[in-house]
């Protein structure tokens, strides 16, 4: 699954992938080579967590002997999403965070063991030629409205995904080589692939199943259907309310079909928290004050907030602090459709003009690390032969001159027609760190005679600008999933409606990402990914800024709170609230 946060911000890359069992698969089955690699990534990230000082009730409370208490309301600050159904192109990280508590796919990944397990599908079988996957669905599963789940719902969801009039193109990319899905009987479906795809089983986690009967009763246009704001799912939480601009409320599904399952590999069958209230607060400072008042149960901290508040929080016995590396990267994307940005020498010159070491030192307080490409440095796909481009305005000016841009008598960088080089940097309005980075960059660009305008807009408008390609330069982040397929990011066919926001059109890249999808050997995929990395480095469609680290403050009455390498702190299914301790701390 691909995630899109202020990040469009796991451990594995496209090249460290699931390649199902040769003949059969069930909750415990997974390709041994894949699992070995994923566990290696897990250990590496956990080591980073330890080195960065995981403290408080996180890891310790995970070992607490006290039984989980049922009840309470978890309060989390979020940026308001466009939808709660992540099949739609307007989805973002918050759509996934909330929607997947209500909606479920046929399979899912255990964030602790990194293994693939059956969710709505109890088990599966893979043909010897790897092109046919048969899923055996769970029986006695109920939708939140009491109706029964069966194969017709899977068929309906599949058909919706492939309906060209529906805005589902980004998820559709994951299934580009699928030939068909057939209903075999009421509880069996079969997916046939035109080509071998390394992730033919695991990719089904990208498709949250929708109830056919809801859409049969309400014929509203699919793209505008009320279901997307109030999903009826099969998950352990169900929709409660959405008060626009204020909060979204989920309630524990007391009739959850998985509540009586306890054997591995089923994950978190019995959530303990009664309600999850996602409070709409975009600004980091407002979130911090809400946490201090006791209105939030945990909050992420900016580097500046952490520096100012660390001592106070550590001296408060009711507050814990967790720090850990994130499976993501921050970057800014150049719109290669803009005439002045088509020349890669210009994009490389602009890369030399950003002082990323200064950004990391002054904006991120030294907590982030430099990267050169779209894979995590600890992954086998990362090309360590590629060194970061250092801040060098002289080198930048030389490249601009090679590309036909020189300083005029007024000191402005212009082309042969005396047209000045200027562009706009687009940011979400709530990203204070992004604005700080943009301010540093703007100052250094002015030394080259370049005018850069900083434009901030609301999150929903920001996403629309990306999808409409209405930007020059946009700063965001990408969070990697358990298994990530680079096709949607870099193939030229994804430049219109997919996630190729730069518009990269490179023949060798197209060949590589296509070959990766059909390569079952993980080691070979890693080598192909290193070449993908090299092309990205040479073409500079992105200006890679850093590998982030998270700093989180939380109330210790929140038990079993611990970072997970992929979902970090965004999967509360294993948490519970000590009600008595909470009342002592907050007085309410």
pLDDT tens per residue across span 366-386: 888 899 999 888 888 999 999
Coil, strand or helix at 42: helix
What is the model's pLDDT at position 565? 59
Give the best-scoring range by mean pLDDT among 6-20, 366-380, 438-452.
438-452
Backbone angles phi, psi at 552, to 5 degrees: -130, 135
104, 120 in Cβ contact below 8 A?
Answer: yes
d(CA 173, CA 56): 42
> Is the pLDDT confidence value at 167 over 90?
yes
d(CA 504, CA 532): 12
Which of 92-101, 346-355, 510-519 is least confident? 92-101
77, 450 in Cβ contact below 8 A?
Answer: no
| Structure confidence at residue 566 as a pLDDT band (50, 70, 90) | low
Closest CA to 31 of 46, 10, 45, 16: 16
> Is the pLDDT confidence value at 402 over 50?
yes
Parallel, antiparallel or unpaired: strands 178-185 and 237-243: unpaired
> Is the pLDDT confidence value at 17 over 70?
no
48, 518 in Cβ contact below 8 A?
Answer: no
The structure's pTM equals 0.82
98, 81 in Cβ contact below 8 A?
Answer: yes
Parallel, antiparallel or unpaired: strands 422-428 and 473-479: parallel
> Is the pLDDT confidence value at 25 over 70?
no
Residue-wise pLDDT tens digits, 244-254 = 999 999 999 99
Only one residue has tokens 């008595």, namely 580
d(CA 4, CA 110): 20
> Is the pLDDT confidence value at 224 over 90?
yes
d(CA 150, CA 155): 9
Q: Who contacts 67 (Cβ-Cβ below 8 Å, separation ≥6)?
A: none
Mean pLDDT of all residues belonging to the chain: 86
Closest CA to 275 of 294, 290, 255, 254: 254
Closest CA to 430 of 6, 4, 90: 6
> Is the pLDDT confidence value at 567 over 60?
no
Closest CA to 328 of 95, 565, 109: 565
> Is the pLDDT confidence value at 30 over 70?
no
What is the model's pLDDT at position 37? 54
> Is the pLDDT confidence value at 401 over 70?
yes
Give me 333's structure tokens.
């994307």
d(CA 408, CA 402): 15
What is the model's pLDDT at position 111? 74
Give the best-scoring range by mean pLDDT among 31-45, 77-91, 153-167.
153-167
CA gyration radius for the chain?
Answer: 24
CA distances to 309, 313, 564 from 586, in Å: 19, 15, 27
């Amino acid at each position: 699954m691909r995630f899109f946060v202020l990040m469009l911000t796991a451990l594995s890359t496209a090249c460290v992938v699931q390649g199902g069992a040769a003949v059969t698969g069930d909750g415990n089955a997974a390709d041994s080579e894949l699992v070995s690699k994923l566990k290696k990534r897990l250990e590496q990230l956990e080591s980073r967590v330890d080195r960065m000082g995981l403290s408080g009730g996180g890891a310790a409370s995970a070992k607490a002997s006290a039984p989980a208490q049922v009840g309470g309301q978890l309060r989390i600050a979020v940026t308001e999403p466009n939808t709660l159904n992540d099949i739609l192109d307007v989805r973002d990280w918050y759509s996934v965070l909330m929607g997947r508590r209500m909606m479920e796919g046929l399979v899912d990944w255990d964030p602790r063991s990194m293994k693939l397990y059956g969710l709505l599908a109890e088990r599966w079988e893979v043909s010897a030629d790897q092109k046919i996957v048969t899923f055996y669905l769970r029986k006695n599963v109920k939708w939140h409205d009491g109706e029964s789940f069966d194969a017709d719902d899977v068929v309906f969801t599949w058909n919706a995904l492939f309906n060209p009039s529906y805005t589902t193109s980004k998820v559709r990319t994951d299934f580009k080589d699928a030939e068909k899905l057939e209903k075999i009987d009421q509880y069996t479906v079969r997916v046939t692939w035109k080509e071998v795809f390394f992730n033919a089983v695991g990719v089904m986690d990208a498709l949250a199943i929708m109830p056919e009967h809801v859409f049969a009763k309400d014929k509203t246009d699919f793209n505008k259907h009320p279901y997307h704001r109030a999903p009826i799912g099969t998950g352990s939480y169900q929709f409660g309310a959405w008060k626009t601009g204020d909060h979204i409320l989920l309630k524990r599904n007391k009739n959850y079909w998985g509540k009586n399952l306890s054997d591995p590999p089923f994950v978190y069958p019995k959530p303990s928290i009664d309600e999850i209230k996602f409070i709409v607060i975009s600004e980091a400072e407002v979130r911090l004050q809400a946490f201090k008042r006791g209105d939030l149960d945990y909050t992420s901290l900016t580097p500046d907030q952490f520096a100012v508040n660390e001592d106070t929080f550590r001296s408060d016995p009711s507050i814990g602090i967790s720090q850990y590396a994130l499976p993501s990267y921050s970057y800014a994307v150049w719109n290669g459709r803009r005439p002045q940005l088509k020349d890669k020498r210009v994009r490389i010159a602009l890369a030399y003009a950003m002082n990323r070491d200064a950004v990391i030192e002054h904006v991120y307080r030294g907590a982030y690390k430099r990267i050169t490409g779209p894979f995590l440095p600890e992954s086998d796909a990362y090309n360590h032969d590629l060194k970061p481009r250092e801040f060098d305005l002289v080198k930048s000016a030389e490249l601009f001159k090679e590309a036909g841009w020189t300083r005029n008598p007024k000191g402005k960088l212009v082309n042969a027609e005396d047209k000045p080089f200027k562009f706009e940097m687009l940011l979400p309005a709530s990203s204070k760190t992004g604005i700080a980075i943009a301010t540093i960059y703007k100052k250094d660009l002015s030394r080259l005679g370049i005018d850069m305008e900083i434009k901030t807009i609301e999150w929903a408008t920001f996403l629309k600008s990306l999808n409409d390609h209405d930007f020059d330069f946009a700063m965001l982040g990408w969070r990697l999933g358990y298994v990530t397929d680079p096709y949607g990011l870099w193939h030229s066919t994804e430049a219109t409606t997919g996630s190729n926001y730069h518009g990269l059109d490179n023949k060798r890249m197209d060949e590589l990402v296509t070959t990766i999808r059909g390569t079952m050997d993980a080691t070979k995929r890693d080598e192909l990914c290193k070449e993908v990395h090299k092309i990205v480095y040479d073409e500079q469609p992105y200006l890679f800024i850093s590998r982030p680290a998270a700093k989180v403050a939380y109330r210790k009455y929140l038990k079993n709170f611990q970072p997970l390498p992929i979902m970090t702190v965004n999967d509360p299914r294993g948490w519970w609230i000590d009600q008595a301790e909470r009342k002592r701390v907050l007085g309410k």
